[in-house]
A and B are shown apart, each in its own frame.
Chain A
Amino acid sequence: MAADASTLKQLVLGRKDVQDLTDTEQELPPDLMTVNMGPSHPAMHGTVRIVLTVDGERVVKSDVQPGYLHRCFEKESEHATYTQIFPYTDRLNYVSPMINNVGWAMVAEKLMGITNDIPKRAEYIRVIVSEMSRITDHLTCVGASAMELGAFTPFLYMIKCREWIWELLEKVSGARLTHSYVRVGGVSKDLPDGFHAELTYTLDEIDKVLAECQDMLNQNKIFRDRMAGVGAMSKEDAIATGCVGPIARACGLDYDVRKDYPYSIYPEVEFDVPVGTTGDCFDRYLVRLEEVRQSMRILRQCLKQIPDGPTMIDDPRCALPQKRATYNTIESMIRHFKHIVDGIKVPAGETYCFLEGGNGELGFFVVADGTGRPYKAYVRSPSFVHLSTAGQLIHNHMIADIVPIFGMINMIGGECDK
């Protein structure tokens, strides 16, 4: 007979020594046990709860429950003007907010039919800040996962790199994390003085740090043992569940929105899309690391190619007038007032617009009714889709494996709980 509940309780409370128990009592109960992981747990990226049914240490059933963050992004969007929604998008995937900004601008521009009229310089700036954000996104994901497996040093190194980039983005936008930098029709302001030199220097420094981190992790036995072969997914499963981004690419799926549905100035830069073979956590890690290098490659090209010119479209429907004109002519004053109070008038219609976010295809579906705010906004957030595979991935793994699997899914609460 196994230990009954009261005996177990005594054990837990320390009132009875294990030595005092009979042999049968010393065995753990053979029944399945239900364990709560989260919603607030140090190894969970964001507030998500997993109700695990475990057989000893092995997960036999899991119930992944997102929804603890109450973001209400989609509903809130119905009550804000298109411009006011940019700050909301900052908080979707808050590790790469610039990409969300660009995505939201693109969907409004598509509805207004001005996608091809955005000034070249603005497009380059958008790509530059997007790729910088992608680097921070991957560094955070990889660094945090490594830390959770015990490798604290790479985490500190990578977060150091992330901080360099965020400092640069702060110079660009004025905010370290919640940038709200992109606007419908362009970007809110031009790059600051000395940006080129600083970014070039930062990229060189990151190169060095990446090499160090790679040395520390790639042949590290603990890291490899816990990542390789863990949480593998087949290419077919990735397609069936709608996985995108680094997770799908680690499974060998060569899909990157930047290549397959090119937007902005991505056709003008050279880069490769890294693809894995096994689809396990280690491949996801390798793909992310290589994407960081590819992003740096794109950034270096952009810095060479970026033209001079305006950073905002010259279209009174979405461009705010110059301050000087606003204060001195009634026409610009009215336009400024209308843009701020009523919002940009987006013609009635509905559209889906997508781009490559940090975690994969990030899409916005908007129904516009001709007023200054969306009638309905929907975000196809990669984290939400990826989280839906988590239950399947951790099935039959040990509880300890949940940590690297969940880390490599890179669920971001702000984006998942939309």
Chain B
Amino acid sequence: MSVTTNPPAGTPAADAPAPDPNKVTLTIDGQTVTVPKGTNVLEAARTLGIDISAFCYHPGLPVVAQCRQCLVSIEKNPKLQPSCQQIAADGMVVHTTDAQSTLARKQMLEFTLVNHPIDCPICDKAGECTLQKLYFEHDNADSRVDTPKVHKAKVVDLGPTVVLDQERCILCSRCIRTCDVVAGQHQLEFANRGDHEVLTTAPGAKLDNPYSLNVVDVCPVGALTAKDFRFTMRAWELEATPSVCNGCATGCNIEIHHKHGRAWRLVPRHNPEVNDYWMCDEGRFTYHDLREQRLAAPTVDGLPAGWDRALRAAADQLAVGRANGQLAIALSALHSNEDNFALAKLAKAWGLSHVYVAAKPPVPARADGKLRVADINPNNAGVKAIAEALGLELRPIYELDPNTRGLLALGDVLPGVEPGRLKELSYVAITAHERGPVLQAKIALPATAWAEAAGTITNDKGHVQRMHAAFPPPGQAIAGWEVVVRLAQATSVDGAGKLAWAHAREVFKDMVAAVPAWKDLTWAREARPLALRFAGSRG
């Protein structure tokens, strides 16, 4: 889409190239814009930076034009038109700031607020509320209503994840369409008419689809709130850091909303190639795991130890297996490319010909042809690519060689390896969590979890996606690749110099040079946390 500055409307230059039949050119507020055929006026205006106010319109949902907030005047058309539904046509002249449409916006907002409860101080959406934003920008007038407000149900339990406040609802139907489109299940509906109209589920039915929390994101007001997040944190006090969901192999793009060194919620980030505007509920809850059973300090035989002592002990433990060629190294499909690449390089340096991969077993029931897939490991594809590029044979961990005496494993899952068997091994774990097999480890070295370190993961479609560190890790944990670097130095690996990275960026650089499929990848700029308070109400 291209933008030109204000030529006289409707008079194409004589020597202009033949117009593209798949594009239309229209004028909005005096600016000319060319957009693909079929684009609506609201989207065309957004390409010019003109943000037409709207409640019910969402770029990822079908258009219904029922909030009437985006009315604009179009020349030669006697009535105002909803810009979300109006398809842009050649030569169309649109005005968004004339008296008629300005007044329409004000009046629609006044109507919308007639029965709206005075809930901002206790409303979870306050600070990121589209209604607040549009009222402040487009109306900002005092109330003229002196009749009592219509009262409706306040705390309606819609299902396992979402609570509805019918008074706050402005009846935009975004949630209904989200359930229809994203989950493919029609679970919400309007009931009654006029100012008694409410959002509801059918009697006995529940909002229980696996994508139900997307309705909270699309809700322009605080009508739908997540049970998981409500009354925990004020939205404007949060900071947002872009990242990627580590819940499964889809790798939905997300924002981590964090404050005080912990995550408070995960929300989807738009990426048309991966997850569009959505993510599943299961993925949203993965942030809880960032605070559970974390390993905060190195342990030797289950007791906390300093890094130096733990590393020396780890070197001793692994030396036995190394001497006899009975050492196994396990990569983890739950860790980033950088962590795995560093460990794979160590395996190479130790002369191993094969490595194991530890991954959670697939959950076939999860796969729904939408965002949820059976593979619940975020980085299986990355581990495969790295092992292949380094010429290491990759075996699943349950095929662990019975002669193995030493095991250096990334992550906290080792499916198929019995605890009793682990106990006999000289097992050194590099892990973010102290649970499962890690409890049998002789040495456990604390690593960062996915939200705490810069890195990349590779999803099932082969997209290598960047994660940013949102907050510091607990205690003495350091990035997984950094643990490997320290371990390499402690065990005085031949060519340990090659494993002396100082930043994830350097690991990444070596990694993309080694993996042919990734050779064009670049390390994106570090993202600074965005204070939601100053991001305005993003709606």
Contacts and interface: CB of A to CB of B under 8 A. Distances in A.
B141 A316 contact: yes
B120 interface: yes
B118 A327 contact: yes
28 contacts: A316-B140, A316-B142, A325-B142, A325-B143, A329-B118, A329-B142, A329-B143, A330-B113, A330-B117, A330-B118, A330-B120, A331-B142, A331-B143, A332-B142, A333-B118, A333-B120, A334-B120, A334-B132, A334-B136, A335-B136, A337-B132, A338-B136, A341-B127, A341-B236, A341-B533, A342-B533, A345-B136, A372-B534
A328 interface: yes
Contacts of A325: 142-143
Nearest to A315: B140
Nearest to B126: A337
Interface of B: 113, 116-118, 120-121, 126-127, 131-132, 135-137, 139-143, 145, 236, 533-534, 536-537
A317 interface: yes
Contacts of A321: 142
A333 B136 CA distance: 11
Closest 5 CB pairs of A and B: A329-B143, A338-B136, A316-B140, A331-B143, A330-B116
A331 B141 CA distance: 7
Interface in A276-334: 316-317, 321, 325, 327-334
B40 to A, nearest CB: 25
B134 to A, nearest CB: 10
Interface in A339-359: 341-342, 345
Most interface-central of A332, A338, A345, A371 (chain B CB within 10 A): A338
Given A316-B141, A334-B132, A371-B536, A328 B127 contact: no
Contacts of B141: 316, 331
Nearest to B537: A342
A334 B135 CA distance: 8
Interface residues of A, number: 22
Nearest to B109: A331
A159 B126 CA distance: 48
A337 B234 CA distance: 13
Contacts of A317: 140
Contacts of B121: 333, 337
A339 to B, nearest CB: 9
Contacts of A338: 132, 136
Interface of A: 79, 316-317, 321, 325, 327-335, 337-338, 341-342, 345, 371-373
A328 B149 CA distance: 11
Contacts of A331: 113, 135, 139, 141-143
A185 to B, nearest CB: 14
A330 B143 contact: yes
Nearest to B236: A341
A333 B222 CA distance: 15
A237 to B, nearest CB: 44
A193 B67 CA distance: 51
Nearest to B134: A334
Nearest to B129: A334
A334 B131 contact: yes
Contacts of B140: 316-317, 335
A364 B14 CA distance: 51
A148 B140 CA distance: 56
A337 B121 CA distance: 8
Contacts of B118: 327-330, 333
Given A332-B142, A345-B136, 12 more contacts: A321-B142, A328-B118, A330-B143, A334-B120, A334-B136, A335-B135, A335-B140, A337-B127, A337-B132, A338-B132, A342-B533, A372-B534
Contacts of A337: 120-121, 126-127, 132
Contacts of B131: 334
Nearest to A370: B536
A341 B533 CA distance: 7
Contacts of A342: 136, 533, 536-537
Nearest to B135: A334
Contacts of A371: 534, 536
Contacts of B142: 316, 321, 325, 329, 331-332
Contacts of B145: 329
Contact of A332 (B126, B137, B143, B533): B143
Contacts of B533: 341-342
Contact of B534 (A327, A329, A332, A373): A373
A345 B137 contact: yes
A369 to B, nearest CB: 11
A371 B133 CA distance: 12
Contacts of A328: 118
Nearest to A325: B142
A211 B373 CA distance: 89
B150 to A, nearest CB: 13
A341 B141 CA distance: 19
Nearest to B117: A330
Contacts of B132: 334, 337-338
A345 B133 CA distance: 11
Contacts of B136: 334-335, 338, 342, 345
A103 B536 CA distance: 27
B484 to A, nearest CB: 39
A341 B113 CA distance: 20
Contacts of A330: 113, 116-118, 120, 143
